[in-house]
């Protein structure tokens, strides 16, 4: 393992610890007005991770979760047990010696199984556009 990879992993672990603290706080006050403070901090920390460690495999999992939370403020819709499931998942990921593509895919599927929509930004096709082309 080279120095650069070690620094990335340490930085990723430190950011993850911050994310875990916010998830634990969000879990404990889910449904209460104070939850918005933790959600805001959590989303900012996730974006910080994306900016600092864009190619770190773990970042892909964090950003899938970010999308599920940020889209239309869906963080409000999730409950304490779902947030606890996220804490367990993230803890298990950072405890792995290495995170590969298979680990990332499994983690994102686990998020989906917990009820998080990790692909909320769907594309809707306007079929009327195709009809207009046919009439020209």
| pLDDT 10s digits, 74-120 | 999 999 999 999 999 999 988 887 888 999 999 999 999 999 999 98
What pTM value is reported for the model? 0.82
From residue 48, alpha-carbon distances to 71, 90, 91, 115 in Å are: 17, 17, 19, 24
Helix (H, G, I), strand (E, B) or coil at 17: helix
Q: What is the pLDDT of residue 14?
A: 85
- The percentage of the chain sitting over the pLDDT mark of 90, rounded to a whole number, equals 62
Q: Give the Cβ contact number of residue 91 at 10 Å.
A: 13
Buried b (16+ CB within 10 A) or exposed e, 56-85: bbbbbbbbbbbbbbbeeeebeebeeebbbb
Contact 50, 59 (CB under 8 A): yes
Examine the pLDDT at 4 and tell me if it is beyond 80. no
pLDDT band, residue 37 (cuts 50/70/90): very high
| pLDDT 10s digits, 14-32 | 888 899 999 999 999 988 9
Average pLDDT score over the chain: 86
d(CA 86, CA 19): 10
Closest CA to 94 of 15, 26, 22, 39: 15
d(CA 63, CA 118): 9
| pLDDT 10s digits, 55-84 | 888 899 999 999 999 999 999 999 999 999
Q: What is the pLDDT of residue 85?
A: 96
């Amino acid at each position: 393992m080279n120095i650069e990879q070690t620094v990335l992993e340490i930085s990723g672990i430190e950011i993850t610890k911050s994310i875990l603290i916010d998830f634990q706080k969000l879990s404990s006050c889910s449904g209460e007005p104070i939850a918005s403070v933790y959600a805001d901090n959590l989303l900012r920390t996730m974006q910080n991770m994306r900016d600092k460690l864009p190619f770190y495999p773990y970042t892909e999992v964090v950003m899938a979760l970010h999308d599920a939370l940020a889209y239309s403020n869906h963080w409000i819709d999730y409950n304490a047990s779902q947030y606890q499931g996220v804490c367990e998942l993230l803890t298990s990921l950072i405890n792995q010696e290495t995170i590969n593509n298979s680990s990332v895919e499994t983690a994102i599927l686990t998020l989906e199984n917990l009820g998080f929509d990790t692909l909320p930004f769907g594309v809707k096709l306007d079929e009327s556009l195709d009809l207009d082309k046919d009439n020209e």
